[in-house]
Structure 1
Amino acid sequence: MTYAFPTARLLVFAKAPIPGQVKTRLAGRLGARGAARLYQQLLRRTLRIARAARLCPVELWCAPDTRHGFFNACRRRYGVRLRPQGAGDLGQRMNRALNRTLADGHPVVLIGGDCVSLGAAELRAAVERLVAGRAAVLGPAMDGGYVLVGLSRPCPAIFRGIAWGQGTVLAATRRRLARTGVDWSELPLGWDVDTPADLRRLRRSMPGISGQR
């Protein structure tokens, strides 16, 4: 496949879609199996968009490891490379994945598999800015976190001591970037699917993705 930015990399972080372990806040509406099914639908959408955009090679970084059958199905269907996230909290795992990719000489964008507001245009904007020399790119989220982080050089400070899963993640990350003198850029505000309110919004905007069979 020919890519617009062959030296860059797009990393998609994902968990094994085990009922009761993914999208747990939606289990009350969908049941544990329905929530896991929704997670698979969202991840497939993300990989489909990432592949069709042909921006750069795409890697699926898997937790707890790459052995789940769904990950291998994604590898075959979307042509992605599977990588294990390894141990640690979310910040440690993201920092590790980004640093390994940067060490190989690639500007890198990292996203989750469930952010429905990210399309090809947003992914392209992030990669373009990094390739042009911007040190970091953030995709802020409506819940106070972020849906995308991209780096063209290591920045470990933004992953340490962060209260992951809280509404303070974005603000804390901005403070770390400013404190360390990193020149960063931000994409338009996005959203992902974590709560029943998010699910209602998803069903209005993308009725084909609902967690149903």
Structure 2
Amino acid sequence: MADLTLYTNPMSRGRIARWMVEETGQPYETVIVPFGPAMKSPDYRAVNPMGKVPAVRHREIVVTECAAICAYLADTFPEAKLAPPNTQRGNYYRWLFFAAGPLEAAVSNRSLGFEVPDERRRMIGYGSFEDVMDTLEIAVSTNPFVAGHAFTAADVYVGSHVSWGLQFGSIEKRPAFEAYLARVTDRPAFRRAQEKDDAEMREMETAG
């Protein structure tokens, strides 16, 4: 049995975790958790009390939340070189958590039709959707990758948000975003993750 288990659903943010696990090159077991009663069951809530995917179990350690999963796996498997040296992690942490905080919040609110009134922007961590898009452009265009000149776990997370945003129209189509996405997805681990998730999705659709 592998030391690493991925709890996921191919129609979820679990795709981010799958990509990250594939980047580590480690053997792992996959547990597909269907939406509905199974995801909210006591058994799965023992893994993630939120009753949501993804989650990873590494031996006796359970990690949830995609940004945390990316950071944990990068640190746990340093041979994969998915995190910069400790003294060079400023941009790595900055953009990883920018995507987990301001970017996701701004995109989610816009998708739900919520716009922050100008006079209330100081109350919201991301300020405005426009500010977030402009900042994201800086993140993905200053260097080839968000932490510098090497691909890292932060690119798995930021790249996944850019991918979904461009696909579903929740992030503006800008040349910088499209160029960045092409760079970060041109990787064997990304293609393996996509193939596995797509195959799992077909199986679920057939079974349903």
Larger radius of gyration: 2
If each structure's helix is expressed as a fraction of its own residues, which one has the higher value? 2
So what's the TM-score if we normalise by structure 1?
A: 0.29
If each structure's strand is expressed as a fraction of its own residues, which one has the higher value? 1
